[in-house]
Structure formats: structure tokens, C-alpha cells
Structure 1
Amino acid sequence: MIRFAVSFALLLTLAGCATQQDPQPQKPSASASSLNTRLSVFSRYPAGGLPDGWEPMILLRNKQRTEYQLVRDADTTVLHARAESASSGLMLKVDVQPQQQPWLRWSWKINSLVKSADNTKRATEDSPVRIILGFDGDKDTMPFADQILFETARVMTGYDFPYATLMYIWENNAPVGTVIPSTYTSRIKMMVAESGSEALGDWRDFTRNIAEDYEKAFGEKPGRLIGIGVLTDTDNTGETAEAWYGDIQLLQERFAHEGDAAQPLSLSQGK
């Protein structure tokens, strides 16, 4: 019963992938196609507040919330996160076919690790930065325990939760490329995008093929991408973490511009 309650609470954090959001005015005008490829270009916004369309992703009501705000970093605007024994995220609803736009590009920066974090253990599962992807799929094919969990969550909340969730994280020790299964449910997998302390204080740029990464993590091809989020969390370790997220883009081709071909981004680490 305790494991079910904890797992159910974790599903609630992913509700933003499926909830209907109220229409909001868009500050930067853009076509539907550009919104699909540029999921969140924080650099287009002024400092202060949050980017349009992003909704709070709350873990449990009794947990402290991570603070998020658009800030200036050098000559651009980025999303700043600060967690003090806290765990909440931001989620944006999308509708994208990963096979058509498989390349996810983002950047992040942290000044320190969550020292006692270990994402292979439930009691210390924290990360200073996470990119969260929620995917649609056939829930009838899930393990029976997960089907019961998801159906109970749907009945109690009225939300349909993602069929599968893939997270890119910064881990203390696990090598880049490692897939870490969640200790709560088989429908959540964490992939290590950065590891260790060598890059602390530096902006790190990433380009990942989410269709290939999903297949590596779950052993099947992905369904539609229905949500993308960020999460900086320290609730399990009780530590403090500060992070900065740069623009997040979903692209048809690995290189967004011709000039990128001369200096390609690594699939597993920054430039």
C-alpha cells in the first residue's frame, strides 16, 4: 500500500503531460510549426515571470516547491531554478511525432552537484537538472501492476497519464548514456546526459535523438510526444540546488543551421 501511494504521487507529477491548459497570450508571435520545433526559446522573453504555456508540475502538496523564473544570464534570457529540500517542475503540453522531429536540443548549467544524490536508490533520487519527456502509447500493453496504477490515477483525478516518461538527468557517478529505471514504475526511465563535477559552472549543450533514446530505454518505438518538462529536485536528500536552463528545441534535422555542420554537437555530451 505504501509503494502504491508513493507511485501514485509520482504519477501526479506527470499530469501536466495530459492536462488541458487554458489558452494564454503568446508574447513572441510564431506559427504552429515553429512552436513544434522550438518548444521553448527562453531567450525570446524578457526577464521575470515564466514562459507562456508552461504550467506548474506539483509532486505532493506538502512538499516545498522549486522556484522557477526567467532571468538574464550574460546577454540572454534563461530559466533559473532553485530547490531547497524541494521538488516541483514546469511542464509544457505538445503534440509531436518523434520520428518526424527526433532531435532534441537544449542547454543547462549548474554550479554544484546534489552531493548525496544517487538516482539508482529511491531514498536519494534527486538531480539538479532534468529534462522530462512524456509519450503516448497503448496502455493495454503495460504490465498489469502499472495498468492498475494508471487506471486508478485516471479515475481519481480525471487525467490520462503518459504511457511512458523519459528523463535526461545529471548524475553524480553513473556514466553518460546509462539508463536508470525508476524504482516506482517500469514506465519511467532516466538517461544520464551528464555525469560528475568536471563541467560545473559551464553551460553544457546537448543534442539527443529522442526516438533512438526512447527505444534504448523502453525496447520499443515511441508514440507521440505529448509533454516536455524541466525538474530540479532535492526533496529526498534535503540539499539545495541551483540550475539554469537554456532554450529547448525539437528539430527535424540534427543541425539547426548550416554553420552547425562545421562544429557538431555530441550526442552524449556538450561541445
Structure 2
Amino acid sequence: TGQILSFHPIRINGQKAGVICYFSKDLFDDTVERMTEQLVRLLARELYMHREEQLLRLSGRKMKPMLHVSYLKGIIEEIQRTADPGTPVKHQLNALLQLLTTATRHDEHPLREELATLKAYLSLEGTRRRPNQLTSADITVDLDIETSVEEYFVFPFLVTQLVDNALRHAFVKAGRHHRIDVRAFKSTTGWVIEVADNGQGMPFAVMQQLDQKESGDSNLFLIRRALEVTYGPAASLRVYSIIHQGTRIEVRLPFPSP
């Protein structure tokens, strides 16, 4: 045909794609090939940046919910006032109020308050007895928090989402004693939140997908993105996992500004 075909693979929104270029044989050489590779990489970057801009734009144009969280919170507060003290219903309403209070926050709050939200969440999860399915009532959650970091700020539901991820994915329906350990402590360069479980471990393919920065909709991926937006390169989320032995998620955060 007198033409040379050049194929350049790229990824768009996590999907495999590519650019096919046709060159006249007498115009094609190594310089053109290298230039084309550079243009394709630039195209892939521009597509990724465009997608990010679209997501940010759409996130600010969410539909207004028919029932706002504050409205539901007010109703539950009224019911909670009439509930008999010391009853399971009273306890559950208190836990639900804690979750709804956190859900109305848009700013960061102390780790101490985040742990109260986690305890409320675990309390409510323990009441959801689903047939043939593990709940938090079947799992020991241990907290080991240094007093020095309790007043450091985190964004709402950070620790709660990490524990929720372990509850939903780490454990099979039967087996040895199930455990989740939550730690928070100072390090030399910042402070650390760790959530570790003794579950079935994270498949290699899932860990690979988590490391692909151009796309993802898993809970851990979204937490990592939120950390990047909130703290920039000063924060990180790392996953360490061994099949049949468990998973440890490490979140490193910068010290608060003086």
C-alpha cells in the first residue's frame, strides 16, 4: 500500500485503548516514530486531566436530596428523647445520631471524634444479623491509639471506611477467629493510622488495580484520592497483604501545622 501503520496503546478511564497512525513510507523514519509516541502520551495525559476536571465539575452539581441529613437527624433526635433509657433502641438511636452528625460535616474533625463515629458504626453493624453472613458482632475490633494523636484532625469517616472495607472483604463465612486492629501513633516524619486484619488477604489483581492511578472506584482508591486532594504528597496510603494471612493498610499523614 505504500503506507506504514503505527499502533500506540494507551489507557483511558482504566480501559485499554490505542491510537493507530498511518504514514507514507517515504516520510516515515525513527524521528517520526519517537515524535508520535510523545504525542500519544500527551494525548493520554490530556484525556486523563479532562476526565478529572469533569469529575470535579460534576461533584459540585449533585441533585439535592429530597430528605436532607439534617432533617433526618432532627426526626431521630425527637424519637430518641422518648425512648426508654438503657434500652437497645435508645443505644441504637444514639449511635445513629453520631453517624448522622458526622455525615453533616464537611470539614476535618479530631481523631477522637472519628473513633466515636467508628464505635457507633460498629454498634449498628452488630445489630444487622444477616443469614449466613459475618457482621461486626462476629469480629473483634481492637483500638490502640496514642493519646498524643487523639486531637489530630482527619476528614470524616476516614478510619470508619477503612474498617468497613475490612469487614466487607477480609473475612470468609467460616474459619479462625476474626480480628481487626486499629492503631494510631506518631512517627519520625508525621503520624500514622493503621488498620490490619487477619483475613483472607487481598488478591494480587486487586492490589494492581489499586496502584493504577488513572482510574478506579473502589473504596480504598477513593480514600487515596481524598488524601491526595486534602494533603497532597505529604500523605500516603499503602497496602501490605499476604494471601490467607491478612492485610494491613497504612495511612501516613503530616503533623498538624503549628
Using the size of structure 1 for normalisation, the TM-score is: 0.22
- Structure whose CA Rg is larger: 2
Higher relative contact order (CA 8 A, sep 6+): 1
Q: Between Structure 1 and Structure 2, which shows a larger proportion of strand residues? A: 1
TM-score by length of 2: 0.23
